[in-house]
Amino acid sequence: MHGAWVERLGDDLLFNHQTPNLLTLLLEEWKQRAPTYAFEAQRLFSRILPLQNDQRTAPVLLQGDAAQPVETVVLESNIRFGLDFSAGYSVGLFLDQRANRAFLRTQPVRRLLNTFAYTCSFSVVAALAGAETVSADLSQKSLDRGRLNFTLNGLDPAAHRFIADDVQELLPRMARRKEKFDTVILDPPTFSRGNKGRRFRAEDDLQSLLSAAMEVTASGGRILLSTNCTKLRASDLECIARFSLKNARLNGTLQHLPTLVDFPEGTAASTLWIQLR
């Protein structure tokens, strides 16, 4: 259904919708289809998808025991991630990145930089494979939730770095220190404000952000370029990547992973893996 879809998060369902009418249709469709699934949801939550970031709100409980904890733990390929339905618009795990997390598990990673790390899911995946990880996000609260994800998987957060800082300022500092990573995750928000009110807008600034990330990517390393900006699709990411490679006098290959079949067209993040040579 365009403009509405359902996500399964552990034993709960999250109904995403752009309008109240779409939520009504989505609930009616779920009621009709539910008997055909070998799954009984414990709780139903709804989340409105506004056009403006400042209109985003936390998911609302529609059905189920309100006395149950709003925090839970889910499994993805036997990796544990903590969720919190009261935390705000994002409950703790972006499901449209699961193919990229699975791909990361198949790659040799020694040192990973996870920018705009949120709750550090990519860092957890790399750390479980033995990699050294650095997770950077402007939100200390998100990084604290990331540390919890490390602990949930038997990893010692103290063995990894968590940096609460503006990525746009952090990347040039890392480059000056000649830090290098064989894998860089670059999944910025569509719009944000960093230190001292510095603005980031994906359609305007993704190009310069990628160029800065290339400065800290080792020869032969990989960059995941990702965005939820509806103005930038897969073909736009390719153009941005090719321009950045040419500008940096680098060679590289580009790889798109298969489209997720359970996300309606235009709702999942646009992503591109860049392999430097």
- List pLDDT tens digits, range 179-188: 999 999 999 9
Contact assessment for residue 160 and residue 133, using Cβ atoms and an 8 Å cutoff: yes
Return the higher-pLDDT residue of 89 and 16.
16
Right CATH number for 90-276 from 3.40.50.150, 1.10.10.10, 3.40.30.10, 3.90.420.10? 3.40.50.150
pLDDT value of residue 51: 67
pLDDT at position 2 over 80: no
Contact assessment for residue 46 and residue 59, using Cβ atoms and an 8 Å cutoff: yes
Render 149-179 in DSSP notation, one character per residue.
HHHHTT--GGGSEEEES-HHHHHHHHHHTT-
Non-local (6+) Cβ contacts of 145 within 8 A are 82, 84, 87, 92, 119, 120
In degrees, rounded to 5, the angle at the alpha carbon of residue 53 between the alpha carbons of residues 47 and 54 is 95
Q: How far apart are CA 118 and CA 140, in angstroms?
A: 9
The CATH 3.40.50.150 domain(s) of the chain lie at 90-276
In DSSP terms, 200 is beta-bridged to: 192
Residue 195 pLDDT level (bands cut at 50, 70, 90): confident
Q: What is the mean pLDDT of residues 183-209?
A: 88
Provide, rounded to the nearest whole percent, the portion of the chain with pLDDT above 70: 98
User: Token digits for 254?
Assistant: 């580009």
Contact assessment for residue 172 and residue 115, using Cβ atoms and an 8 Å cutoff: no
Q: What mean pLDDT, rounded, does the chain reach?
A: 93
In DSSP terms, 275 is beta-bridged to: 222, 253
pTM: 0.90
- pLDDT tens profile 4-50: 888 999 999 999 998 999 999 999 999 998 999 888 999 999 999 87
User: Token digits for 58?
Assistant: 């936390």
pLDDT at position 220 over 80: yes
Buried b (16+ CB within 10 A) or exposed e, 53-84: eeeeeebebeeeeeeeebebebebeebebbbb
Residue 155 pLDDT level (bands cut at 50, 70, 90): very high
pLDDT value of residue 52: 65
pLDDT at position 76 over 80: yes
Q: Regarding beta strands 71-76 and 270-276, do their DSSP bridges make them parallel or antiparallel, or are they unpaired?
A: unpaired
- pLDDT tens profile 261-277: 888 777 889 999 999 99
Q: How far apart are CA 275 and CA 233, in angstroms?
A: 19
pLDDT at position 246 over 70: yes
Contact assessment for residue 215 and residue 175, using Cβ atoms and an 8 Å cutoff: yes
pLDDT value of residue 1: 61
pLDDT value of residue 55: 72
